[in-house]
Chain A
Amino acid sequence: MRDEQPRMIPCSLVSVVDDDESVRESLPDLLREFGFIARSFSSAEEFLASECVGQTNCLILDVGMPGMSGPELQRELKLRGQHIPIVFITAHRDESVRPQVLAQGAVACLFKPFSDTALLEALNTALQAN
């Protein structure tokens, strides 16, 4: 992991929570290319247990995970008063999920595979909202 300054919105911490290893491998690299500080977690529980909860500026969250799911983490954070902008990502093309999570306050919901621009756009929206 290299310390690279984010170019567009510097020094923002973006946390990635996804049980899929390939996502955890690839996405932080791309985020760093975007200029963010990126951290990745394999489960919602791991994220909640980390010190990053309070520091994360944006959360990229997988919908379907073993254990606590993405929407459940979303609810948990809201209950804890942690209003972190969330960009959901999912491999299931389930149209019913998107309106559900958006209604709960998510910034965006991206279906895998998504393009880098779509991601960046969502992150920008999230950080601006922040």
Chain B
Amino acid sequence: MGVRQEDTSGEIKHLKRCLNDLVSVLALPAMWSGSQPSQIVHTLLDALLDMLCLDLVYARLQDPAGGAPIEVLKIAPSANWMLPDEVHKTLNQWFGDDPRKWPARLRASIIDQDISIVSQRCGLHGEIGIIVAGSDRADFPGQAETLLMSVAANEAVIGLHEARLLLEQKRVAGELDRRVAQRTTELAAVNDELRKEIAERHRAEEALLENELNSRLILHSIPGLVCTMSPAGEVDRFNPQILEYFGKTPEELKGWAIGNAVHPDDLRRVVAAFTHSITTGTPYDIEHRCRRADGVYRWFQVRALPVRDTADRITGWYVLLTDIDDRKRAEDAIRASERNLNQIVNAIPALAWSARPDGSAEFFNQHYLDYLGLSADEAKNWGWTAAVHPDDRNALIAAWQRMLTADQAGDCEGRLRRSDGEYRWFLFRTNPLRDESGKTFKWYGTNTDIDDRKRAEEQLRRSQAFIAESQRLARLGGFSWRVESGQITWSDQLYRIFEFEPGGLVTLERIGSRVHPEDIPLLGDMIERAQRAAGDLEYEHRLLMPNQSVKYLHLVAHRTQVQDGRLEYIGAVQDVTERRLAEEALTQARSDLAHVTRVTSLGVLTASIAHEVNQPLSGIITNASTCLRMLAADPPNVEGARETAKRTIRDGNRAAELITRLRALFRKKESRTEPVDLNEAAQEVIALSLSELQRNRVILRPEFADDLPVVTGDRVQLQQVILNLLKNATDAMSAVNDRPRQLQIRTERGTDDQVRFTVQDAGVGLDPQAMDRLFQAFYTTKNDGMGIGLSVSRSIIERHHGRLWAEANDGPGATFSFSIPPRQGGESDAG
């Protein structure tokens, strides 16, 4: 600090300095050009601090850019004891917040140091801010210093204003640049868009062109008939195929009505659909037959779609006709085939089904469902097994499982319940259906009703068993014998009877080897009769078995004609050995009994006669003895003798009466007289005796005259004679074993016009010496005979005015004959 007022030169010097300072301050804005406001403030404060030798300078100025106030404090290096924070605080205490109210001058103390403070407002009303200067000089501020302060404040305002203008200018220029850049970007984008659009359009055009080419290509090569139609349904464009198919020129096609191309049967339907589509604009889709150029109708699927413009108006129709004839035929064929198959499946007289590989059922034909009375749902899978008979169910399912496991077709039987509850037998037949690899993917099966067969089988089995058992029990064997071929069929039982190996070949030779040698003639006779087809056969003959036992067989056979007209005997052979033995035993017993009876009855008769006669005889003799004794007495007892003699006579008469009574008792009864056909009578007798004859192995050869006259007589008596002659002949042959026991019975008209009956046997024959006694009563050559038969027979024949005689044969045996006169119209005196 110096003393300036004392010295004028100092004053001038001081002034000069002031002027310099002023110039410096005025030059400041030039420096500030382009500077930031804060830079302006800093430059200004530095200039003031330096020019005014201040201890501190402070500015708070509005930022011309509109930011926060620019506040700068500068402290001179010589006053570095002042701390900026203390200064700020002190300034705020001094002046408050509003710088416009700050006092222009102030003496204050900062940190115990007195200091002069000057504030200079900036702007017209201080609105720009304030500049504060401080110095410890007491004279502060001088005039020059105040001027400088004021100029500096103005310059600051100007500088800040310029700075503000510059900033504004800069801001506007930036904005302009930004806007230009933005607009440029926008334009570039639009440009890009346009380029893209152009490229796109170009491509679209190319595609369109390609498409057009393709469409034409497609249209011409499409395997179908294509055309377009006007909204009214008239054909306008078409592909060549359509012309080719219908055989039309383009001109013809354009003026074409569909009528002559559509099958008459489809026409009505087609017209209706077509009209409907054209009228309503709805797509058209129909299948119908179109006539080809050659007149053949083929099925087509015809589809038409309307084409619309932006206003949704129909501008035309696209029509595609696709030939579906082959498909249609195939479909028809398949349908027909399916229908056919279905019909077959439902018509086959069996229950048909299919099953999956696991055995569960998936399909049943209608028959099956109808039979079960179940719906397909109820029967499917394993539902059907509920209808299997409980006794068969397990076995049936097991059999099914076995087939599934074995993967092989099979069959089994079981009963299925019908809807009415009745069980019927079925044959279940299954078959696997395999794919190419051989894997079963389905099973098919049929169940055939075999109930009738089963029952018949059962019946047959039962009746066969029954027959076999019956045959076995009855010892009855069946056979058939084709005489010409010699083919003989036997039942099992017959093999058993003959003790041949069952099923072995049967020949007459083999049979002959078993037949009892004595019965071989019977066999020969049978064969001979069969060959003559003489009628039914009935024989009894014996077998001689290898163990020498004898079997008695009874054979009956019926002659039949088999289909080819050849002769066949169907017959039965019964082993009657036991019966025969029993019969023989019985016959023997009967015979014995008969003998005993005869003897007994004769004895009884004799005894009776004797008793009846002996009683009176006894009386006679006793009386006679008494009489004699009485007469011999002395004297003779005459009275007694007379009495006994009377009694003798009486008893004699009694005996005579007795004889008369006996004669009456034995007198023959009246006989009947009638016309008798001897043939008939003889046949009756033969019929009665047949079994007896056969039992005695007698081969009967009847020869009956056809023209035999009728005789008159007692039929029964004549039959007794015939029976007696047959019996005698049979008996006469009973011991014959070295030749056939042949018995010939003959009726004939004799040379003397008599009716003759002859029985010729091959028996023991007649003893010539006995011939004359033959017909006497009680003469017999038989050990069991009565010797009455022939004598009675002769008396019967004689009563018929005939005669009975016997002759020895040339060969073995004898012939007995009788002849009686034929009936003479009305004459009947026999008996």
A76 contacts the other chain (CB 8 A)? no
Task: Tally chain A residues at the interface, Cβ within 8 Å.
Answer: 21
1/0 contact string of A61-95 vs chain B (CB within 8 Å): 00010000000000000000000000001011110
Contact segment of A20-28, A39-47, A48-56, A98-106: A20-28
CB distance from B252 to the nearest CB of A (A): 146
The reply to whether B610 and A91 contact each other, CB–CB distance below 8 Å, is yes
CB distance from B653 to the nearest CB of A (A): 12
Return the contact of A26 from the options B614, B633, B647, B654 (Cβ within 8 A). B647
A92 to B608, CA, bound (A): 8
The reply to whether B615 and A30 contact each other, CB–CB distance below 8 Å, is no
Residue of B607, B616, B626, B629 ringed by the most chain A CB atoms within 10 A: B626
1/0 contact string of B596-616 vs chain A (CB within 8 Å): 000000000001001100111
The reply to whether B611 and A23 contact each other, CB–CB distance below 8 Å, is no
CB distance from B481 to the nearest CB of A (A): 60
Residues of B within 8 Å of A111, CB to CB, are 614
Closest Cβ neighbor of B610 among chain A residues: A93
CB distance from B401 to the nearest CB of A (A): 91
1/0 contact string of B616-643 vs chain A (CB within 8 Å): 1111111101100110010000001000
A15 to B621, CA, bound (A): 19
B651 contacts the other chain (CB 8 A)? yes
The reply to whether A113 and B630 contact each other, CB–CB distance below 8 Å, is no
B747 contacts the other chain (CB 8 A)? no
The reply to whether B611 and A92 contact each other, CB–CB distance below 8 Å, is yes
B135 contacts the other chain (CB 8 A)? no
Residues of B within 8 Å of A29, CB to CB, are 622-623, 626, 640, 644
Given A92-B607, A92-B611, A93-B607, A22-B626 contact (CB < 8 Å):
no
The reply to whether B629 and A91 contact each other, CB–CB distance below 8 Å, is no
The reply to whether A112 and B614 contact each other, CB–CB distance below 8 Å, is yes
The reply to whether B623 and A26 contact each other, CB–CB distance below 8 Å, is yes
Closest Cβ neighbor of B632 among chain A residues: A33
Given A29-B640, A112-B614, A23-B607 contact (CB < 8 Å):
no
Residues of A within 8 Å of B614, CB to CB, are 91, 93, 111-113
The reply to whether B610 and A26 contact each other, CB–CB distance below 8 Å, is no
Return the contact of A114 from the options B607, B618, B630, B633 (Cβ within 8 A). B618
A89 to B618, CA, bound (A): 10
Closest Cβ neighbor of B622 among chain A residues: A26
Closest Cβ neighbor of B628 among chain A residues: A116
Residue of A33, A92, A116 ringed by the most chain B CB atoms within 10 A: A33
A111 to B607, CA, bound (A): 12
Residues of A within 8 Å of B617, CB to CB, are 112-113
CB distance from A12 to the nearest CB of B (A): 17
Q: Which residues of chain B from 642 to 692 have a CB within 8 Å of any chain A CB? A: 644, 647, 651, 654
A115 contacts the other chain (CB 8 A)? yes
Residue of A29, A89, A93 ringed by the most chain B CB atoms within 10 A: A29
The reply to whether A30 and B607 contact each other, CB–CB distance below 8 Å, is no
Given A93-B607, A113-B621, A33-B615 contact (CB < 8 Å):
no
Closest Cβ neighbor of A94 among chain B residues: B607
Closest Cβ neighbor of A30 among chain B residues: B626
CB distance from B239 to the nearest CB of A (A): 144
Return the contact of B629 from the options A30, A64, A113, A115 (Cβ within 8 A). A30
The reply to whether B607 and A116 contact each other, CB–CB distance below 8 Å, is no
Residue of B614, B616, B625, B640 ringed by the most chain A CB atoms within 10 A: B625
A29 to B640, CA, bound (A): 9
Task: Tally chain B residues at the interface, Cβ within 8 Å.
Answer: 23
The reply to whether A26 and B644 contact each other, CB–CB distance below 8 Å, is yes
The reply to whether B616 and A115 contact each other, CB–CB distance below 8 Å, is no
CB distance from A76 to the nearest CB of B (A): 24
The reply to whether B607 and A113 contact each other, CB–CB distance below 8 Å, is no
A94 to B629, CA, bound (A): 30
A27 to B619, CA, bound (A): 8
Residues of A within 8 Å of B615, CB to CB, are 20, 22-23, 91, 112
Closest Cβ neighbor of B651 among chain A residues: A22
The reply to whether A33 and B626 contact each other, CB–CB distance below 8 Å, is yes
Residues of B within 8 Å of A94, CB to CB, are 607
Closest Cβ neighbor of B606 among chain A residues: A93
Residues of B within 8 Å of A64, CB to CB, are 611
The reply to whether A113 and B611 contact each other, CB–CB distance below 8 Å, is no
The reply to whether B640 and A91 contact each other, CB–CB distance below 8 Å, is no
Residues of B within 8 Å of A27, CB to CB, are 622
The reply to whether B626 and A113 contact each other, CB–CB distance below 8 Å, is no
Closest Cβ neighbor of B650 among chain A residues: A22
Residues of B within 8 Å of A115, CB to CB, are 621, 625
Closest Cβ neighbor of A116 among chain B residues: B625
Given A33-B629, A92-B607, A25-B619 contact (CB < 8 Å):
yes
The reply to whether B607 and A22 contact each other, CB–CB distance below 8 Å, is no
The reply to whether B647 and A22 contact each other, CB–CB distance below 8 Å, is yes
Closest Cβ neighbor of A112 among chain B residues: B618
Q: Which residues of chain A from 4 to 28 have a CB within 8 Å of any chain B CB? A: 20, 22-23, 25-27
Closest Cβ neighbor of B629 among chain A residues: A33
A44 to B201, CA, bound (A): 172
Q: Which residues of chain B from 430 to 457 have a CB within 8 Å of any chain A CB? A: none
A92 to B651, CA, bound (A): 18
A33 to B611, CA, bound (A): 26
A111 to B610, CA, bound (A): 11
A33 to B640, CA, bound (A): 10
The reply to whether A33 and B619 contact each other, CB–CB distance below 8 Å, is no
CB distance from A38 to the nearest CB of B (A): 11
Return the contact of A91 from the options B618, B623, B651 (Cβ within 8 A). B618
The reply to whether A114 and B621 contact each other, CB–CB distance below 8 Å, is yes
Residues of A within 8 Å of B607, CB to CB, are 92-94
Residues of A within 8 Å of B611, CB to CB, are 64, 91-92
Residues of A within 8 Å of B618, CB to CB, are 20, 22-23, 26, 89, 91, 112-114
CB distance from B116 to the nearest CB of A (A): 214
CB distance from A123 to the nearest CB of B (A): 13
Residues of A within 8 Å of B630, CB to CB, are 33
Residue of B610, B620, B633 ringed by the most chain A CB atoms within 10 A: B610
The reply to whether A23 and B629 contact each other, CB–CB distance below 8 Å, is no
The reply to whether B626 and A26 contact each other, CB–CB distance below 8 Å, is yes
The reply to whether B625 and A25 contact each other, CB–CB distance below 8 Å, is no
The reply to whether A116 and B610 contact each other, CB–CB distance below 8 Å, is no
The reply to whether A113 and B640 contact each other, CB–CB distance below 8 Å, is no
CB distance from A109 to the nearest CB of B (A): 14
Return the contact of A116 from the options B619, B629, B640, B651 (Cβ within 8 A). B629
Closest Cβ neighbor of B612 among chain A residues: A91
Residues of A within 8 Å of B633, CB to CB, are 33
CB distance from A6 to the nearest CB of B (A): 13
The reply to whether B647 and A113 contact each other, CB–CB distance below 8 Å, is no
Closest Cβ neighbor of B654 among chain A residues: A22
The reply to whether B626 and A92 contact each other, CB–CB distance below 8 Å, is no
The reply to whether A30 and B610 contact each other, CB–CB distance below 8 Å, is no
A22 to B625, CA, bound (A): 14
Residues of A within 8 Å of B640, CB to CB, are 29
Return the contact of B622 from the options A23, A91, A93 (Cβ within 8 A). A23
A20 to B617, CA, bound (A): 12
A115 to B617, CA, bound (A): 11
Q: List 24 A-B contacts (CB under 8 A).
A: A20-B615, A20-B619, A22-B616, A22-B619, A22-B651, A22-B654, A23-B618, A23-B619, A26-B622, A26-B644, A26-B647, A29-B640, A29-B644, A33-B629, A91-B610, A91-B614, A92-B610, A94-B607, A112-B615, A113-B617, A113-B620, A114-B618, A114-B621, A116-B629
Give me 5 other A-B pairs in contact (C-beta within 8 A), A25-B619, A26-B644 excluded: A23-B615, A25-B647, A26-B622, A91-B618, A112-B617
Give chain A's interface residues, CB within 8 Å of chain B: 20, 22-23, 25-27, 29-30, 33, 64, 89, 91-94, 111-116
Q: Considering the complex of A and B, which 8 residue pairs feature the smallest CB-CB distances, nearest first?
A: A22-B619, A112-B618, A116-B625, A26-B622, A91-B614, A113-B618, A113-B621, A91-B611
